[in-house]
């Protein structure tokens, strides 16, 4: 029977999510890849346990994770909870999202309607055998559904006791402000936005979302921090046969050109001067942004999680370091 490491909370940093009282682990485990029905369950279970043993308390899911078997990541996570983690439920922040295509017909396609969001959350709770999730997100902005309807659906999930807090994902600063205004009127516990963000993808800075989040007391939990594996050691000298790029399983495959490789090698060399691996520096760099509450990492084996957690040992960058990194990134 699994028993969690008694010193797990000594190994992690915890940050308040916006102006809420909820603290999240600086690193969170995302179950988008490698946790579905087609993946090895034993490895998935080991990764969840390793994450918790390292002080990671937030486990990030969505209704469609586990594709092509949508929902299978939640089903597997439910089994993982049953096999030892469920006794720690009150120490876990379990999140799920809904918004992308999930089931056939007009009510299960990409949208933000009250019908879709309500049905999806009920399905997610059933798959994970939970009474509630800690955060329920609308996964992607839907221009065809009034924001009032989406906001009311999320608010209703809280009022029904099926979610403690609500969040949004893939919303820019303008869209975030619009729905935040509605949440303020409803007094909904809206605490977080989940955008993509990395050294190679700084759109939230250009859009102003990070500044908006600080000003409005909303936390940011960011995904794809390693830019689909680019910000690791995997692509410094060749393209591995088992990589997403080689299998054409990532939307950034065409960006791996000679110019990018030169940039990645320069970043890796800079990480060496900090006593970090490229991936660790990339995570530390994100955490140095005051708007960021937590970074959602992915993994295919427990050792990767252990390696990533070491990033929190040094998340400070001097002005000189920042200037040098900006120079590398702009080339």
Q: Are 192 and 218 in contact (CB under 8 A)?
A: yes
In a domain, 246, yes or no: yes
| Beta-sheet strands, E only, within the chain | 14-16, 23-25, 27-30, 58-60, 93-98, 133-138, 163-169, 190-194, 219-222, 292-297
Q: Is 330 helix (H, G, I), strand (E, B) or coil?
A: helix
pLDDT for 249: 58
In a domain, 84, yes or no: yes
Which single residue is written with the structure tokens 């303020």? Answer: 184
Q: Which two tokens stand for residue 196?
A: 């993509």
Average pLDDT along the chain, 331 residues, taken 10 residues at a time: 96 98 98 96 98 98 96 98 98 98 95 98 98 98 98 98 98 98 98 98 98 98 95 78 57 78 95 97 98 97 98 97 96 82
Which single residue is written with the structure tokens 């590398």? Answer: 328
Q: Which residue from 89, 163, 74 is spatially nearest to 126, judged by alpha carbons?
A: 74
In a domain, 1, yes or no: no
In a domain, 169, yes or no: yes
Query: What whole-number distance in Å separates Cα of residue 326 and Cα of residue 200?
Result: 11
In a domain, 274, yes or no: yes
Query: What whole-number distance in Å separates Cα of residue 229 and Cα of residue 256?
Result: 11
pLDDT for 236: 85
Which domain CATH number covers 293? 3.20.20.100
pLDDT for 235: 77
Query: What whole-number distance in Å separates Cα of residue 287 and Cα of residue 267?
Result: 17
pLDDT for 122: 98
pLDDT for 240: 59
Give how many domains the chain has, as a whole number: 1
In a domain, 48, yes or no: yes
pLDDT for 244: 61
In a domain, 3, yes or no: no
pTM for the full predicted model:
0.95
Q: What are phi and psi of 301, to 5 degrees?
A: -155, 155
Q: What are phi and psi of 190, to 5 degrees?
A: -90, 115
59 φψ region: left (φ > 0), alpha (ψ -120 to 50), beta (else): beta
CB contact burial 190-208 (16+ within 10 A = b; e otherwise) = bbbbbbebbbbbeebeeee
151 φψ region: left (φ > 0), alpha (ψ -120 to 50), beta (else): alpha
Cis check for the bond before 44: say yes or no (omega within 30 of 0). no
pLDDT for 186: 98
Domain span at residue 176? 8-330
Query: What whole-number distance in Å separates Cα of residue 82 and Cα of residue 34?
Result: 19
In a domain, 2, yes or no: no
């Amino acid at each position: 029977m699994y028993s969690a490491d008694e010193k797990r909370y000594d190994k992690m940093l915890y940050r308040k999510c916006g102006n809420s009282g909820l603290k999240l682990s600086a690193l969170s485990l995302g179950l988008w890849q490698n946790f579905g029905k087609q993946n090895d369950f034993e490895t998935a279970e080991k990764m969840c346990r390793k994450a918790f043993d390292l002080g990671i308390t937030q486990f990030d899911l969505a209704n469609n994770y586990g594709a092509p078997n949508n929902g299978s990541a939640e089903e597997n996570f439910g089994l993982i909870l049953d096999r030892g983690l469920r006794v720690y439920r009150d120490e876990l922040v379990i999140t799920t999202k809904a918004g992308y295509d999930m089931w056939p017909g007009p009510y299960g396609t990409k949208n933000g309607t009250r019908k879709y969001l309500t049905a999806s959350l009920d399905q997610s709770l059933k798959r994970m055998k939970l009474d509630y999730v800690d955060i329920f997100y609308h996964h992607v902005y839907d221009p065809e559904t009034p924001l009032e309807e989406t906001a009311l659906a999320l608010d209703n999930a809280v009022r029904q006791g099926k979610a403690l807090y609500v969040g949004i994902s893939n919303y820019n600063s303008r869209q975030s402000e619009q729905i935040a205004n509605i949440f303020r009127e409803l007094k909904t516990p809206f605490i977080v936005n989940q955008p993509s963000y990395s050294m190679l993808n700084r759109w939230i800075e250009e859009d102003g979302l990070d500044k908006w989040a600080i000003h409005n007391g909303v936390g940011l939990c960011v995904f794809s921090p390693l830019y689909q594996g680019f910000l690791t050691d995997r692509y410094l000298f060749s393209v591995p046969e088992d990589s997403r790029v080689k299998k054409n399983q990532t939307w950034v495959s065409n960006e791996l050109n000679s110019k990018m490789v030169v940039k990645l090698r320069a970043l890796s060399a800079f990480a060496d001067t900090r006593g970090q691996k490229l991936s660790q520096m990339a995570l530390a760099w994100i955490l140095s942004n005051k708007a960021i509450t937590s970074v959602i990492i992915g993994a295919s084996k427990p050792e990767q999680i252990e390696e990533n957690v070491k990033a929190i040992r040094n998340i400070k960058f001097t002005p000189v370091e920042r200037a040098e990194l900006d120079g590398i990134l702009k080339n």
